[in-house]
Amino acid sequence: MSARGSAHGRVNLVGEHTDYNGGLVLPTVIPQQTEMVVERRSDRLIRLRTEARGMAPVEVPLDAIAPRRDWSDHVLGVVDTLRRRGHDLGGFAAEVRSTVPLGAGLSSSAALGVATVRGLREAFALRIDDRDVALIAHESEDQFVGAHVGLMDQLVCSLGREGEALRIDLRDRSTRHIALDRIDMEIAVIDSGIRHQHATGDYQKGRDSGPSSTGRATPGSYNVRRRECEDAARALGVRTLRDVGVSTDTSALSPMLARRVRHVLSENARVDAAVDAIERSDAPTLGDVIKASHASLRDDFEVSLPVIDDIVAAAQRESDVHGARLVGGGFGGSVLVLTRRGAARAVAERIASRSGSLKVVLPAAPR
């Protein structure tokens, strides 16, 4: 008998590069999801396959799991994490099916990790709740895959609900569901076609290659940005940048590190401003928050690219758009566009039609 586990992708309304700094985030799940179909085997082999193009099937002995630096690490890492936590697993065959675009900043890797935990939970009758599902998927990503991401993606992929945003405080891991049905807002996501290749995943397409000499976004810079935040926190004598007060003197930091700190502090404030705007059904103010987030990601955190900035600018010239910004880790990926309700698909298609490399991934095209 087959067991199944699934998880939605996500788009983050606001709160970018704050999660690994112990900060605030406000993601919501998207309709696209990843499903893992698992069948137990009588031996101790793991056989994996995926419908994703260019990703070969994998066969690995259960007792000889090690990182392979390919898509299967996101599954094998979960197996390794579960076994280290004392869960009893046997051999299995699994097939991965997904409609979450790879490399578009929509948490394809986290969705795969969460779907894997859920599929194995059902197949092997593991006693794991949905919050632990997120923690296991995150531990796999961090320790086995080597992508030192924050916990936001796994938490929302496991705990998020359609039609709601999830305010997460990564300092204490508390969550609060925020209804989105009373604000004049619809979400569009436009894939730039530029694939980020940092070690956060895209089913492990690329590795960290370090920053450019200019400090501008380059493939692999995600882990570099995280190290910069850690360096800044260490220099300021705090555990994470969440512990830095708004009046803290940052003059001893290099100008670059001071910019990183400024982004994190201001982005945390924008999360609560966004929640307040949503709860007051104030779409224009929410749009202003989104615009300010992009400016900070571009200028202070330096994770945008000129082509992304052009997409954002084109979106913000549309009369039905409240605001737009880079979404995801940066260095490519997608643009989030907040429109008036009912306008998202038309607006996104107009923007995407200006370049053959752009693709509307949300709202999904009608069938």
Considering the domain architecture, whether residues 217 and 355 belong to the same structural domain is answered as: yes
| SS3 state at 212 | coil
Considering the domain architecture, whether residues 208 and 325 belong to the same structural domain is answered as: yes
Considering the domain architecture, whether residues 154 and 279 belong to the same structural domain is answered as: no
Instruction: Compute the residue count for the chain.
Output: 367
User: Mean pLDDT, 10 residues at a time, over the chain (367 residues)?
Assistant: 95 96 97 96 97 93 96 97 97 96 84 98 98 98 90 97 97 97 96 66 40 38 89 97 93 97 98 98 98 98 94 97 92 93 97 89 77
Identify any residues that bridge with 98 across adjacent strands, giving them in sequence order.
34
Within a domain: 367: no
Considering the domain architecture, whether residues 137 and 197 belong to the same structural domain is answered as: no
**Encoded tokens for 197:** 């290749």
pLDDT in the model for residue 196: 61
Spatial neighbors of 172 by CB under 8 A, at least 6 apart, are none
Considering the domain architecture, whether residues 166 and 193 belong to the same structural domain is answered as: no
Considering the domain architecture, whether residues 134 and 39 belong to the same structural domain is answered as: yes
Within a domain: 57: yes
Q: Which residues does the annotation mark as catalytic?
A: 153
**Encoded tokens for 156:** 């929302």
**Given 121, 149, 178, which residue is the final one in a domain?**
178
Amino acid at 112: L
| SS3 state at 103 | coil
Spatial neighbors of 348 by CB under 8 A, at least 6 apart, are 188, 189, 190, 337, 360, 362, 363
Considering the domain architecture, whether residues 113 and 141 belong to the same structural domain is answered as: yes
Within a domain: 54: yes
| C-alpha closest to that of 305 among 343, 334, 341 | 334
Q: Which domain holds residue 33?
A: 3-178
Within a domain: 241: yes
Q: Which helix (H) or strand (E) holds 187?
A: strand 186-191
What's the rounded Cα separation, in Å, for the pair 133 and 82? 10
Within a domain: 11: yes
**Given 123, 149, 178, which residue is the final one in a domain?**
178
The domain spanning residue 68 has which CATH number?
A: 3.30.230.10
Within a domain: 236: yes
What's the rounded Cα separation, in Å, for the pair 298 and 147? 22
For every residue of 136-182, DSSP letters joined together read HHHHIIIIII-----SHHHHHHHH--TTEEEEEETTTTEEEEEE-TT
What's the rounded Cα separation, in Å, for the pair 95 and 5? 11
**pTM for this model (two decimals):** 0.89
Using alpha carbons, list the distances in angstroms from residue 355 to 190, 307, 365: 11, 11, 18
pLDDT in the model for residue 208: 33
Count of domains observed in the chain: 2
What's the rounded Cα separation, in Å, for the pair 363 and 344? 7
Considering the domain architecture, whether residues 75 and 105 belong to the same structural domain is answered as: yes
The domain spanning residue 285 has which CATH number?
A: 3.30.70.890
Within a domain: 355: yes
Considering the domain architecture, whether residues 137 and 249 belong to the same structural domain is answered as: no
Within a domain: 90: yes
| SS3 state at 20 | helix
Q: Evaluate whether 18 touches 25 at the Cβ level (below 8 Å).
A: yes
Q: How do beta strands 186-191 and 334-339 pair?
A: antiparallel
Considering the domain architecture, whether residues 165 and 208 belong to the same structural domain is answered as: no
Amino acid at 228: E
**Encoded tokens for 48:** 């994996």
Considering the domain architecture, whether residues 202 and 318 belong to the same structural domain is answered as: yes
| SS3 state at 79 | helix
pLDDT in the model for residue 9: 95
Considering the domain architecture, whether residues 8 and 105 belong to the same structural domain is answered as: yes
**Given 178, 205, 222, which residue is the final one in a domain?**
178
